[in-house]
Amino acid sequence: MMFDSRLDPQQHRRALNALATEKFDVLVIGGGITGAGAALDAASRGLRVALVEPYDLASGTSSRSSKLIHGGLRYLEQYDFRLVREALQEREALVTTLAPHLVKPVAFLYPLHEKLKDRTYVGAGLALYDVLRGFQRALPWHKHLSQKNVAQVAPSLRQDIVTGAIKYFDAQVDDARYTMMVARTATRHGAVIATGVSCESLIKEGQRVIGAVVRNMETGELINVSAGVTVMCAGVWSDELHERFGLKAGYEVRMSKGAHIVLPGSAINSEAGIILKTPVSVLFVIPWEDKWIVGTTDTEYDGDRNEPLANRDDIDYIIAQANRVLEPQLRFEDIIGVYAGLRPLVSKKADASTTKLSREHTVDRPAPGFVSIAGGKYTTYRVMAEDVIDLAGKELHKEIRESTTDRLPIVGADGYNALVQQVPLISAETHFSESTVVHLLNRYGSLMSEILQLIAQEPSLSKPLGAGLPYLRAEIHYAVSHEGARSVEDVVARRTRISFEADENGAALLEDIADIIAPLLDWTRTQRAESIDHYRLILERERAEARKLLAPDVAVSS
């Protein structure tokens, strides 16, 4: 139903029925950030849109990024000024207008080693970085810090080699959560979002693609979906799907692996993030709640797309590069989590190094009625979505409106800035601490009212889920009743970040979480047990892999 952004079990059933009975202008394949963005772009132009995703929203690359919204400092060195400018403009729009509740400024220090040379060279680069973002400047201008200032802001930076630093700002986001909220915004504008639905083959009329055969992954049922144009936003799965569909694309996608480690807050003493130039790329030390995320790598990958795994070389590289400037040194024993994501890089030459490939995207029309997109970066998803729907519109043989997503706030953004001013008042009225109110506002924005409505109906949901975690039981309920979660894994790994925020990856909370969501999903006792077991199996597999990565006497969760 238009104007209702809920992704609940009833909406899921309606979506499956709509796929079988309605004709769509646009069918989007893929529920990552680009697919969700394309669905929103098309729906907000007045087109009838469906999106199918075989697993959960953001279950692939879009939940495994560095969680940064940034221009990409390293692209300045590649003289890719257009990409940097585009990304910085998108960053400004996200922080100020489109999603201020979800995208937050974060400070970084760029350590300097050679006083004069580094200050001149790096300072000029960061000045250009600031200038490229244009007239809208929500984030502060970069600032030079002396060695004494650095010692106060970041005691963990080695004073014997760091002569000063330049402080600048980018932004960060919970990537999986943001993707889901974009999908909810698309739903609010009439898009049909169907997770657990895989695209098996295309339906053709002569050479023209007129829809697709999709499979309900829960029941195995095949559904014929009719669409004027099919838009594939499959990221690292693009080549595989082009081959499955018998299409010859004008590009190929190479996979670049980005590995990250997660550390406790105590491992590094700094009030800001840190960015380091490495021989091949850059390394970010990123504050994340009370933890640190350190990464990333940039290496060729040809393994399983569904389960990209870090290897020992990745971990050695991250720790070695970080330890060039940190004191005390990071140790393998400090690591509490490891994850890896895959960047889809558009490639024309088989022998090009992934670090030299541009992150700019490519749109393609390998068949009438079918368009695809690949490449790009998370920050520029909105531009990518606009470009692919512009091309898709030409296949509809009718005039479509121009994109409005550059001024269309994500659900929860409306009224957020006013609510931030009212935190003490909201705290007094709800009897939640101010920190809990801020936590809720930064996850739901103005949709926080829906959480409060749930609690009013069922007061027991106001209790915290577990000691040391910020989540209320209502948030677990809400993940299913409003955010499209359909399994324990969806809740633990993507609607929340319990999978790496809680001890033992949240294993002790699984029964409690299942108790909250089972009635909403009409699970039998067997289905409830299967969902828990499925997540435990993932945990066991990741822990076994982590044990291989790290020293034999160190047990680490991943």
Q: Where are the domains of the chain?
A: 9-62+176-251+361-407, 95-171+254-355, 416-549
Cα gap 214→348, rounded to integer Å: 31
Phi-psi region of 53 (alpha: psi -120 to 50; beta: other; left: phi over 0): beta
CATH class of 95-171+254-355: alpha beta
- Helix or strand or coil: residue 451? helix
CATH class of 416-549: mainly alpha
| Residue 484 pLDDT | 98
Cα gap 426→239, rounded to integer Å: 50
| Residue 556 pLDDT | 44
Structural tokens at position 471 = 């989540």
Place of tokens 């952004």: 5
Same fold? 95-171+254-355, 416-549: no
C-alpha closest to that of 35 among 220, 222, 193:
193
Q: For domain 9-62+176-251+361-407, give the CATH superfamily.
A: FAD/NAD(P)-binding domain (3.50.50.60)
CB 123 within 8 A of CB 144: yes
Give, as one character, the DSSP assignment of residue 471.
Answer: -
Cα gap 494→369, rounded to integer Å: 33
| Residue 558 pLDDT | 42
| Residue 464 pLDDT | 96
Cα gap 429→493, rounded to integer Å: 32
DSSP 159-179: TTT--EEEEEEEEE--HHHHH
Give, as one character, the DSSP assignment of residue 70.
Answer: -
C-alpha closest to that of 272 among 170, 425, 381, 406:
170
CA distances from 4 to 33, 183, 456 (A): 20, 12, 20
pLDDT tens, position by position, for the chain (558 residues)?
Answer: 678 999 999 999 999 999 999 999 999 999 999 999 999 999 999 999 999 999 999 999 999 999 999 987 777 766 677 788 888 899 999 999 999 999 999 999 999 987 666 777 677 777 877 777 665 567 888 899 999 999 999 999 999 999 999 999 999 999 999 999 999 999 999 999 999 999 999 999 999 999 999 999 999 999 999 999 999 999 999 999 999 999 999 889 999 999 999 999 999 999 999 999 898 888 999 999 899 999 999 999 988 898 898 999 999 999 999 999 999 999 998 998 889 999 999 976 445 454 555 558 999 999 999 999 999 999 999 999 999 999 999 999 888 999 999 999 999 999 999 999 999 999 999 999 999 999 999 999 999 999 999 999 999 999 999 878 999 999 999 999 999 999 999 999 999 999 988 888 899 999 999 999 999 999 999 999 999 999 999 999 888 877 777 655 444 444
Structural tokens at position 392 = 């898709």
β-strand 164-172 against 143-146: which pairing, if any? antiparallel
| Residue 71 pLDDT | 82
Cβ-based neighbours of 453, under 8 Å, separated by 6 or more: none
What are the phi and psi torsion angles at 276 (to 5°)? Answer: -125, 135
pTM over 0.85, yes/no: yes
Cα gap 529→542, rounded to integer Å: 20
Cα gap 310→288, rounded to integer Å: 20
What are the phi and psi torsion angles at 502 (to 5°)? Answer: -100, 155
Residue type, 510: L
- Helix or strand or coil: residue 428? helix
C-alpha closest to that of 29 among 304, 306, 240, 219:
240
CB burial of 339-357 (b: ≥16 within 10 Å; e: otherwise) equals bbbbbbbbbeeeeeebeeb
- Provide the sign of the torsion angle of the four alpha carbons 547, 291, 63, 504, taken in this order: positive
Residue 174 burial by Cβ neighbours in a 10 Å radius (0-12, 13-18, 19+) = buried
Cα gap 156→268, rounded to integer Å: 6
Nearest 10 degrees: Cα torsion 301, 304, 309, 311:
-50
Return the ∠ at Cα 551 (arms to 548 and 554), rounded to 5°. 95
Nearest 10 degrees: Cα torsion 467, 489, 305, 91:
-60
Cβ-based neighbours of 502, under 8 Å, separated by 6 or more: 466, 468, 469, 508, 509
